[in-house]
């Protein structure tokens, strides 16, 4: 499907927030084809509007990262859409947050966050790996957070979320070690005004996403296994 001048992006959690804005900004370049995945496409009004006006460059797929069959079905649909092409940039963006601490975190909440923020990206990457292998850029981006950095001190803030992002960073490290032929990074988009980040966040979502696009498209094989912020700075974990 893709010509030598085009790049294919696959984005999870694309119906709102970072995923939606990423889809929007990627459309600014005619070289991008976007496979935008979300749990309930029928309710994704803004995403569907982008798809309708994209002249065939945005394809909306159903994907619940916590449902293994849904992941496999989405991979089959993506392969059908792409034909002989692959996925250049796999963006594991879907995620959820909870406000808790080490001694108030509820087991069922922690499990839900782990399923979405860690197991989801791990399984999506496993299932979609054959499509990534077929591409030119062969890049996987795990959207993480500085809250998951052991070298950053955020006190008791969002403990369950922080734990899952630390685990996601370790997943990135393990993925890179096992497949050095593919670029794997963790990336913090910054604290943005989204449903997840809240309206007290210091940056608008378009600012963080512009940084994501610039950082991701500028990656080299030597960057694999690193943790970046949206400014393109490599940070210690």
Task: Give the active site residues.
Answer: 161
68 vs 123: CA distance, rounded Å: 8
139 vs 141: CA distance, rounded Å: 7
Q: Which residues of 142-167 are buried (b: 16+ CB within 10 A; e: fewer)?
A: bbbbbbbbeeeeeeeebbbbbbbbbb
Nearest CA among 14, 24, 177 for reference residue 93: 14
**Other CB atoms within 10 Å distance of the CB of residue 104:** 12
């Amino acid at each position: 499907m893709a010509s030598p001048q085009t790049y294919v992006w696959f984005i999870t959690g694309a119906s709102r927030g970072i995923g939606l804005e990423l889809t929007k900004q990627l459309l600014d370049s005619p070289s991008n084809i976007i496979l935008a995945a979300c749990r309930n496409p029928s309710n994704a009004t803004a995403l569907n509007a982008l798809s309708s006006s994209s002249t065939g460059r945005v394809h909306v797929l159903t994907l619940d990262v916590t449902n293994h069959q849904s992941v496999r079905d989405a991979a089959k649909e993506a392969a059908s859409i792409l034909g002989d092409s692959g996925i250049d940039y796999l963006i594991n963006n879907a995620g959820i947050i909870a406000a808790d601490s080490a001694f108030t975190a509820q087991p069922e909440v922690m499990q839900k966050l782990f399923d979405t923020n860690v197991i989801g990206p791990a399984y999506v990457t496993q299932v979609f790996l054959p499509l990534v292998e077929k591409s030119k850029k062969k890049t996987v981006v795990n959207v993480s957070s500085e809250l998951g950095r052991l070298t950053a001190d955020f006190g008791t803030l969002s403990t369950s979320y922080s734990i899952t992002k630390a685990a996601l960073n370790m997943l990135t490290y393990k993925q890179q070690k096992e497949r050095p032929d593919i670029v794997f990074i963790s990336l913090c988009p910054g604290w943005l005004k989204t449903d997840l980040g809240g309206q007290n966040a210091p940056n608008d979502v378009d600012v963080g996403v512009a940084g994501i696009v610039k950082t991701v498209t500028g990656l080299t094989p030597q960057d694999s296994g690193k943790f970046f912020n949206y400014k393109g700075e490599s940070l210690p974990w």
